[in-house]
Amino acid sequence: MTVLYRECDGHPLVGPNDLVFDETGGFWFTDHGKWRPRDRTHGGLYYARADGSAITEVVHPLEAPNGVGLSPDGSRLYVAETFTGRIWAWDLAGPGRIADASGFGPHGATLVAGLPGFQLLDSLAVDAEGHVVVGTLVNGGLTDIAPDGTVEHVPLPDPLVTNVCFGGEGLRTAYVTLSATGRLVSLPWPRPGLRLAFDDVVT
């Protein structure tokens, strides 16, 4: 095992969480932060090279950032915040760089979805048609946000649905972790999943 990064610009990474590679071989990742009885360390969004040569803090602070994913054409980046139940999106100007934006979110982000009711968000995946699919806690399931903003909830028999990825023939199977009951389940997905960059390397 090789440790690539422990810090960025002198600030320690305290809770690296989720990651996604782009077509250049770099990867975006979230640092969830740390919650303690009377204080907390905010999380953020980072970009790094897989050879350990460079790491950049791109957005800080974020409220417990968790899942991260790229649009099918690689031009947009999505991040799910666990406790706010929000999914933010940034247009990208290149590897590791977000475009100047005028949204009201952190660093000009656009709010893709702010889900109603009390639910928490975990990891996410993007399918080939650009739907953002996020593991949802408390109400237990997958929340599917279409490019037009339509939201659909797919319930699953566990209150803590944490991770999702696509595989199988034609990438039409969703593999999902049910963390409260400690199970890995699969279900057919109505659209193909998005093939990950360098999936032959990281799988």
Which CATH number belongs to the domain containing residue 187 in this structure? 2.120.10.30
CA dist 151 and 142 (Å) reads 10
Is residue 122 a part of any domain in this protein?
yes
> Which two structure tokens, joined as six digits, stand for 2?
């090789």
pTM of the prediction?
A: 0.94
CA dist 134 and 127 (Å) reads 11
The 3-state DSSP class for residue 169 equals helix
The pLDDT, as a whole number, for residue 104 is: 83
Is residue 8 a part of any domain in this protein?
no
Is residue 166 a part of any domain in this protein?
yes
User: In which domain, by residue range, is 141 found?
Assistant: 64-202
Q: Are 188 and 172 in contact (CB under 8 A)?
A: yes
CA dist 143 and 127 (Å) reads 13
The 3-state DSSP class for residue 27 equals strand
Beta-bridge mates of residue 177? 163, 184
Is residue 91 a part of any domain in this protein?
yes
CA dist 123 and 17 (Å) reads 9
Total number of domains in the chain: 1
DSSP 66-97: EEEEE-TTS-EEEEEETTTTEEEEEEEEETTE
The pLDDT, as a whole number, for residue 103 is: 80
Is residue 124 a part of any domain in this protein?
yes
Is residue 40 a part of any domain in this protein?
no
The pLDDT, as a whole number, for residue 100 is: 86
Tens-level pLDDT at each residue, the chain (203 residues): 999 999 999 999 999 999 999 999 999 999 999 988 999 899 999 999 999 999 999 999 999 999 999 999 999 999 999 999 999 999 999 999 999 877 888 988 999 977 778 899 999 999 999 999 999 999 999 999 999 999 999 999 999 999 999 999 999 999 999 999 999 999 999 999 999 887 654 44
Neighbours of 27 (CB within 10 A): 21
Q: Are 189 and 127 in contact (CB under 8 A)?
A: yes
Q: Where are the alpha helices (DSSP H) in the chain?
A: 199-202
Is residue 4 a part of any domain in this protein?
no
CA dist 93 and 89 (Å) reads 13
CA dist 68 and 135 (Å) reads 12
> Which two structure tokens, joined as six digits, stand for 67?
């899942």
CA dist 90 and 141 (Å) reads 25
What torsion do the CA atoms of 17, 22, 25, 29 make, to the nearest 10 degrees?
-20
The pLDDT, as a whole number, for residue 114 is: 73
Is residue 174 a part of any domain in this protein?
yes
CB contact set of 10 (below 8 Å; sequence gap of 6+): none
